[in-house]
A and B are shown apart, each in its own frame.
Chain A
Amino acid sequence: MGSVMDSPVYEVFGQHDALSFPTHVGSVRAASATLALLLARETYFRRDAVFDLWVVPRTSIFSARQHDPLMLGDRTNKAYRLPSGYDNAPIWKQFKAQAQTIEEVALDMTPPRRS
């Protein structure tokens, strides 16, 4: 026992469709990247079709939490940086105009059907 070394760990990322971002789902142990892909497919995506699958050697990941956790903190009030930090709707209403949101613009800009 113990004469065979453990195979390296690969972190697994799955991308649901072409326009979504690859998301971390877990990790696998495998002797090569090809085998890691295969195992990742078997382990994490047995049922769902997936657009793309990435495996990354864990040793290639440089984590901020381990390197410098202080850089992650958000201890100051950043309301000025967020859309929710502004309350324009009542003022638009005073001017008898409608407030707008970016979600509404995005919806408005979905491509027209062309024949």
Chain B
Amino acid sequence: MIKRLVRSYWRHRLDRAVIRYQYLTHPEVLRLSQILDGWILQGQYSLARSERWRSKLSRIGSIARPEAVRSQKGVNTSMTRLNQSHEAFIEHIARGNKIEATDWMPDDYRQLLIKQIHMHAVSEIMGAYPEKEWVKYAPTIRRKLALNAKIQDEIGHGQMLLRLAEDLSAPYGRGREALLEDIVEGRVKFHNVFHMPAPTWADAGVIGFLVDGGAIITQAMLLASSYAPYARMLKRIVAEESFHMQCGESVVLALASGTAAQRDMLQQAINRWWPAMMFFFGPREMGTQSRRMLEYRIRTMTNEELRQKFLARYVPRIRALGMTLPDPDLHRDLDHPHYWHYTDPDWDAFNEMVHHNTGPMSQTRLALRRGAQEGLAWARQATLTAHATHCDLSATL
């Protein structure tokens, strides 16, 4: 009886091991199971033996065929070394598996991730610039603290996301310096909204309300991304965005509850930002790269689905504030009340702006970024030199 219990216990353990080393074939699993049972039944189970067992598993595993446990369901396995085809990868993701930084991945999956996360990181950083202009003019000390806290969060998010982009770019020999240089050299895009001026305090509020609101919708969608480090990091980011959302709404609600001049200022800001928000989610028909990202489950919704979620959430709220939207065609579809009709933004003009950094504020903000990047190069170098010197000294002592 005891023998049988011991045996079944180890069978169970072996099953788990097979899931981990999914490249074992069935006959090999059986053979190993017999060997293992032999060890257990001969006497005490020891660490040394289990070590031998594990190294045997991985040695055989590395040369075995991948078909062994392909049908395992609900188990998060990594891609096998010998199963690295595009179809297998798509199937792997379709089963709900997540990809880690150290897992094998197709080149275009890696490149799409870099493109997405790099642009996301850079947008967080460049998003701090229009907001920082308003810190010193914010009407109360609490608003100053809040705006400052929000800007710190944006830069923090830029840091977290750059770490992910760095890990992905490592095979191309590109690190943080290169990824940041791409901004000032115009080799990476950032969100259109950060190319625009923020001339009034209401703009600072509307950025928090609508731009952060749009970003939250996109980021909440990305929580289901197939790339696990991105999805995990977004959990942290979305948790912090919760404060941004309340903070932006608070400014907008204060202005909406204020004097005629304050309400007018709010209306003007909404008018300024609305077309940019329609561009924010991208073209109605997605390009090949975006569709590829959908196929790879890097993202899970189309541009239009995201824009519709945004419209459903924000149009009723803006109208409830007694504000209007600068789009005469904005209305719910008669037959499909969940679908909003809207006027297309000037796609060409916005595209030109984000691709060539030709927006009203693009060059001013890039100059600030360049100043930070080049002006602080000596500080980054100094910390590295100090560290190296410290290590040398420690070694000689």
Bound: A109/B243 CA distance, A = 18
Chain A interfacial positions (CB closer than 8 Å to B): 17-21, 34-35, 38-39, 49, 51, 78, 80-83, 85-86, 88, 91-92, 94-98, 100-103, 105-106, 108-112
Which residues does chain B contribute within 8 Å of A88, judged by CB atoms?
246, 249-250, 253
Which residues does chain A contribute within 8 Å of B321, judged by CB atoms?
95, 97
Task: Assign chain B's interface to a size class.
Answer: 35 or more
Which residues does chain A contribute within 8 Å of B47, judged by CB atoms?
35, 38-39
Can you list 7 A-B contacts with CB-CB less than 8 angstroms, sorted by A residue number?
A80-B146, A83-B246, A91-B257, A102-B238, A109-B217, A109-B223, A112-B300
B242 at the interface (CB under 8 A from A): yes
**A-contact 0/1 string along B197-239, CB 8 Å cutoff:** 0000000000000000000110011011000100110010011
Bound: A111/B225 CA distance, A = 10
- Say yes or no: A80 contacts B253, CB within 8 Å: no
- Say yes or no: B98 contacts A111, CB within 8 Å: no
- Say yes or no: A19 contacts B309, CB within 8 Å: no
B158 shortest CB reach to chain A, Å: 18
Shortest Cβ-Cβ A-B pairs, 8 listed: A97-B320, A111-B300, A109-B220, A18-B98, A86-B246, A102-B242, A81-B149, A83-B242
Bound: A34/B51 CA distance, A = 8
- Say yes or no: A108 contacts B309, CB within 8 Å: yes
Bound: A112/B242 CA distance, A = 23
**A-contact 0/1 string along B68-82, CB 8 Å cutoff:** 000000001000000
A10 shortest CB reach to chain B, Å: 15
- Taking A80-B149, A112-B301 as contacts, is the C-beta distance between A19 and B98 under 8 angstroms? yes
Bound: A81/B142 CA distance, A = 10
- Say yes or no: B309 contacts A109, CB within 8 Å: yes
Partner of A97, one of B145, B243, B246, B316: B316
B331 at the interface (CB under 8 A from A): no
**A-contact 0/1 string along B303-314, CB 8 Å cutoff:** 001000100010
Bound: A49/B322 CA distance, A = 54
Partner of A38, one of B51, B224, B242, B246: B51
B111 at the interface (CB under 8 A from A): no
**A-contact 0/1 string along B245-287, CB 8 Å cutoff:** 1110110010011000000000000000000000000000000
Closest to B97 in A: A18
Bound: A26/B50 CA distance, A = 22
Bound: A88/B145 CA distance, A = 18
Which residues does chain A contribute within 8 Å of B250, judged by CB atoms?
86, 88
- Taking A97-B320, A102-B241 as contacts, is the C-beta distance between A35 and B300 under 8 angstroms? no
B26 at the interface (CB under 8 A from A): no
Closest to B254 in A: A91
- Say yes or no: A83 contacts B243, CB within 8 Å: yes
- Say yes or no: A19 contacts B320, CB within 8 Å: no
Bound: A111/B256 CA distance, A = 34
B187 at the interface (CB under 8 A from A): no
Q: Which of A35, A103, A109, A111 has the most CB of B within 10 A?
A: A109
Interface residues in B43-59 (C-beta closer than 8 Å to A): 47, 50-51, 54
Bound: A96/B245 CA distance, A = 19
Closest to B231 in A: A19
Which residues does chain B contribute within 8 Å of A81, judged by CB atoms?
145-146, 149, 243
- Say yes or no: A108 contacts B76, CB within 8 Å: no
Closest to A97 in B: B320
Closest to A81 in B: B149
B115 at the interface (CB under 8 A from A): no
- Taking A35-B47, A80-B145 as contacts, is the C-beta distance between A91 and B253 under 8 angstroms? yes
Which residues does chain A contribute within 8 Å of B149, judged by CB atoms?
78, 80-81
- Say yes or no: A111 contacts B246, CB within 8 Å: no
B317 at the interface (CB under 8 A from A): yes
A81 shortest CB reach to chain B, Å: 4
- Say yes or no: B320 contacts A96, CB within 8 Å: yes
Bound: A110/B232 CA distance, A = 15
Closest to A96 in B: B320
